[in-house]
Amino acid sequence: MAIKIITDTRIFEFDTESLHHPNVYSLLKDIPEITFVAPCGGGRRCGKCKVRITGSVIPITDEESKFLSKEEIKGNIRLACFMPLKDGQVIDLSGSNTKQSIMTEDRLGNGAVTLDPYIKEGFGVAVDIGTTTVAAALYDLGSGIKISVASDINRQARFGSDVISRIQFANSSENLSIIQNTILLEVNSLILQLCNENHLVSNDIYVVTIAGNTTMLHLFMGLDPTGIGIAPFTPVTLDMHILDRDDPSLNNMISINEKGKILVSASIASYVGGDILAGILATGLYKSEKPCILLDIGTNGEMVLGSKDRILCCATAAGPAFEGANISCGVAGIAGAIKSVGYDSEHVITTIGNKPPIGICGSGLIDTVYSMLLNGAIDDTGHLDNDDFKLTENIFLNQKDIREVQNAKAAIAAGLKILIKRSGYDYGDIDKLYLAGGFGTVLNVESTCGIGLIPPELKSKVIPSGNTSLMGISMLLLNKGYFSVMDDIKKITEYVELSQDMEFTDLYVDNMFFETQC
């Protein structure tokens, strides 16, 4: 007998006796070719690792059934982390790889980059490895023209939705190899996709530049990330790395020209990585006469405040709530996700692609909480009188969801206030607030200020900026002179460690309350 896994593009079949996995989740996470999301990393807490299983299926337990509707159970939907492997099982993942709306745009329009690439022939690819998503852009190195972009959900999501979960998974050489190969395979597949769509072959690619947070870059290069996860939060490296295509550390998994190079961005600190360094480059914050803020709200909350003279930065453990994880009906930015909610009525909703609602993504979550606050469904402490608040018959927020939002927004608001206080600036001194990343670019500024995530004094200074990490690492792809510029940025940047900061803790508690000054 065997176990079969069906995806949209391939069927996997395994001899049951050859498998040593305790459950379906354990098997799926070990197959890099499969896109599979499990926000809690198989911890039986999130209820998001839903799969359709037929054949040999054990009866559902009360614990598992709490995460599933009656219709789902009837339709053979089960949770992978609860389901033991059995002879004859068919695990059907077809149709589950819904395309996510991933931000790849340049919203700043800072003009053309002087062309001086590391290798002056062929084509190059810039890659932003986010915790949740991966985006890539193809450029002609001769003209500097951007040809096309490609993106996908970060397949490492099967090991957990946040960096700590992935660091904990990568605590052995075997697991580190598994999680590294997952991202190497994904980056390579995006490069091949860009080539195929533009009638190129992998041999036409001569340079690949990589940005990402410090953990993502460690995992890409196969470096032990465990030091990042425990005090004193020490990474293996913060330096830029220039790797040959056949460098042993990349396991021969990046298919480009044999003379090609892979340039991995430097990072600033353990929790302020190459993505933020690239963002500072893209926004021009490092050469600004007036102080500006760069705020990247995603799975992690990273923020920068400064100008050409001095830059401060910090990171907060905001959690993955704004990415749809840890929220009862939370989903990523996919078709059917509730993306906005009316202020006059919480039941006036719009969805991505105008599809029937299937869940709520980050921008819709913030809108909903602000609308609930305005309409009295919750008070300024976040207290919800009822068991849950229904947006539709099947989509709701409960008290735990509200607390998740409060935790995330309090961490970011407190971090911003620490940076402003340490800088000596007043709110009036701030010239611009760049909101980076897919989530930051689409969220409603009114709602964001309304719940107190961003100080109302900065509301008029917000600039939705797109994927500043991809922009910055594309600039590096096109002009090697930015190597030294990024090095100079690091020299004037001071990292503020918040984990042991009592003032941050006090501000975090204060900002748990909702504010409605906007």
Mark whether 187 and 271 lie in a shared domain: yes
Identify which of 164, 165, 272 has the alpha carbon closest to the alpha carbon of residue 213. Answer: 272
Find tokens 């692609």 and name the residue.
353
DSSP 3-state assignment of 48?
Answer: coil
User: What's the whole-number mean pLDDT along residues 103-120?
Assistant: 71
Identify which of 327, 361, 319, 325 has the alpha carbon closest to the alpha carbon of residue 163. Answer: 319
Return d(Cα 218, Cα 237) in angstroms, integer: 8
- Domain total for the chain? 2
Between CA 237 and CA 248, with CA 242 as vertex, the angle to 5 degrees is 85
Mark whether 245 and 132 lie in a shared domain: yes
- 443 assigned to some structural domain: no
Higher pLDDT, 455 or 113: 455
Residues 361 and 443: beta-carbon distance below 8 Å = no
Mark whether 77 and 129 lie in a shared domain: no
DSSP 3-state assignment of 418?
Answer: helix
Give the end of a domain, one of 279, 296, 315: 279
pLDDT, residue 103, reads 45
Question: Residue 72 carries which side chain, given as an amino acid letter?
Answer: E
- 349 assigned to some structural domain: no
Mark whether 131 and 254 lie in a shared domain: yes
pLDDT at 430 over 70: yes
State which residues form the domain around 249.
123-279
- 148 assigned to some structural domain: yes
Return d(Cα 504, Cα 444) in angstroms, integer: 26
- 214 assigned to some structural domain: yes
Using 50, 70 and 90 to split pLDDT, how confident is the model at 196? Answer: very high
pLDDT above 90 as % of the chain? 52
493, containing H or E segment: strand 493-495
Mark whether 22 and 128 lie in a shared domain: no
Q: Among the listed ranges 173-182, 218-227, 385-394, which one has the minimum average pLDDT value? A: 385-394
Residues 456 and 518: beta-carbon distance below 8 Å = yes
Q: Among the listed ranges 274-283, 337-346, 393-402, 496-505, which one has the minimum average pLDDT value? A: 337-346
- 388 assigned to some structural domain: no
Tens digits of residue pLDDT in 235-290: 999 999 999 999 999 999 999 999 999 999 999 999 999 999 999 999 999 999 99
C-alpha dihedral sign at 130, 134, 135, 139: positive
pLDDT, residue 89, reads 86
Q: Among the listed ranges 110-114, 277-281, 290-294, 502-506, which one has the minimum average pLDDT value? A: 110-114
**CATH assignment at residue 131:** 3.30.420.480
Mark whether 88 and 129 lie in a shared domain: no
pLDDT, residue 110, reads 56
Query: What does residue 63 show for φ and ψ, rounded to 5 degrees?
Result: -65, -45
pLDDT, residue 111, reads 56
Mark whether 271 and 192 lie in a shared domain: yes
The two structure tokens encoding residue 107: 């919203």
Q: How far is CA 324 from the centre of its chain?
A: 11
Mark whether 85 and 132 lie in a shared domain: no
Q: How far is CA 26 from the centre of its chain?
A: 22
Helix 502-510 and helix 399-423: axis angle, to 10°? 130
Q: Residues, the chain, total?
A: 518
Mark whether 168 and 87 lie in a shared domain: no
Return d(Cα 241, Cα 220) in angstroms, integer: 12
Give the end of a domain, one of 229, 264, 279: 279
pLDDT at 97 over 80: no
Between CA 109 and CA 444, with CA 321 as vertex, the angle to 5 degrees is 45
Using 50, 70 and 90 to split pLDDT, how confident is the model at 507? Answer: very high
- Dihedral angle over CA of 226, 227, 232, 236, nearest 10: -160
The two structure tokens encoding residue 285: 């914050």
pLDDT at 344 over 80: no
Give the end of a domain, one of 255, 279, 303: 279
Tens digits of residue pLDDT in 281-330: 999 999 999 999 999 987 778 999 999 999 999 998 776 677 777 788 88
Query: What does residue 392 show for φ and ψ, rounded to 5 degrees?
Result: -135, -175
Q: For the stretch 391-413, what's the b/e string if a residue is b when 16 or more beta carbons lie within 10 angstroms of its beta carbon?
A: beeebbbbbebbebbbbbbbbbb
pLDDT at 422 over 80: yes
Return d(Cα 37, Cα 25) in angstroms, integer: 10
Question: Residue 257 carries which side chain, given as an amino acid letter?
Answer: N
The two structure tokens encoding residue 392: 């539709």
pLDDT at 191 over 70: yes
Question: What's the whole-model pTM score?
Answer: 0.84
The two structure tokens encoding residue 362: 């980050």
Q: In what order do the strands lie in the sheet with 261-264?
A: 146-153, 133-140, 123-129, 205-212, 261-264, 241-244
Mark whether 69 and 152 lie in a shared domain: no
25, containing H or E segment: helix 24-28
- 10 assigned to some structural domain: yes
- 367 assigned to some structural domain: no
Q: How far is CA 367 from the centre of its chain?
A: 20
- 405 assigned to some structural domain: no
Q: How far is CA 51 from the centre of its chain?
A: 23
User: What's the whole-number mean pLDDT along residues 378-389?
Assistant: 89
**CATH assignment at residue 85:** 3.10.20.30
Number of helical (H) and strand (E) elements in the chain, helices listed first: 15, 22
Return d(Cα 41, Cα 26) in angstroms, integer: 10
Burial class, 216, CB count within 10 angstroms (exposed 0-12 / middle 13-18 / buried 19+): buried
Mark whether 79 and 160 lie in a shared domain: no
Mark whether 65 and 153 lie in a shared domain: no
